[in-house]
Chains A and B, each alone.
Chain A
Amino acid sequence: NAGVTQTPKFQVLKTGQSMTLQCAQDMNHEYMSWYRQDPGMGLRLIHYSVGAGITDQGEVPNGYNVSRSTTEDFPLRLLSAAPSQTSVYFCASSYLPLAGVSPGELFFGEGSRLTVL
């Protein structure tokens, strides 16, 4: 079972370069999200989506773009990388919570470790 798949697992960028972190899920989840995890800061929500064509900002959206053209994929784009974006990025997905049908359990990918020099 693939679950939530993130690529690449590791990436080193120079300041100002752009890149896309890929996230795909095969569970037909409506909800997908991106978090960054930093020492002492915990997990912080960057962007999220509740369905194809629908995205919204989380707690720390600056410097990141997202799109959701399909149910399965939710890429995270860094347009001009900065050293402050050095972090571990996690993609997570779930069914939308629906009483009596779905509790909305969240599933995570293995993470993408990004270093910006």
Chain B
Amino acid sequence: KQEVTQIPAALSVPEGENLVLNCSFTDSAIYNLQWFRQDPGKGLTSLLLIQSSQREQTSGRLNASLDKSSGRSTLYIAASQPGDSATYLCAVKGRSNYGQNFVFGPGTRLSVLP
């Protein structure tokens, strides 16, 4: 059964810092991995999707990398801003569990202080 963990559970940084969020998964037979952002009381917003054949994806100040062999993905946020404060979740779509479905990590709660 695929299990997804995220470290740290919470992170507080001053504005302007570069930071890295970590996502680990136990079954490397994945189809893709997706990073989401969730603001309090809101739904999940897709940030980046990395297909299993890719090593990284970039969107603005965000860069996500994928290392299937080690079961890890990182989300790099450059020059953090208070507006980046949210919970960040990663999810993996497996080839071997539930067929079409994603398994989610518990999330990292990020606070960027002005």
Contacts and interface: CB of A to CB of B under 8 A. Distances in A.
Interface of A: 31, 33, 35, 42-43, 45, 48, 50, 58, 90, 92, 96-97, 103-111
B98 A31 contact: no
Given A97-B93, A106-B34, A50 B100 contact: yes
A109 B36 CA distance: 13
Most buried by B among A33, A104, A110: A104
Given A43-B89, A43-B104, A105-B34, A110 B42 contact: yes
Nearest to B91: A106
A92 B104 CA distance: 13
Contacts of A103: 32, 49, 51
Given A103-B32, A106-B34, A58 B101 contact: yes
Size category, B interface: 20 to 34
Nearest to B48: A105
A31 B45 contact: no
Main secondary structure of the interface of A (DSSP, over half): strand
B26 interface: no
Contacts of B91: 43, 106
Nearest to A44: B104
Contact of A90 (B41, B43, B51, B101): B43
Contacts of A35: 104
Interface string B51-65: 100000000000000
Contacts of A90: 43-44
A48 B100 contact: yes
Contacts of B71: none
B104 A42 contact: yes
Given A42-B106, A97-B93, A109 B101 contact: no
Contacts of A109: 43
Contacts of B49: 103, 105
A45 B46 contact: no
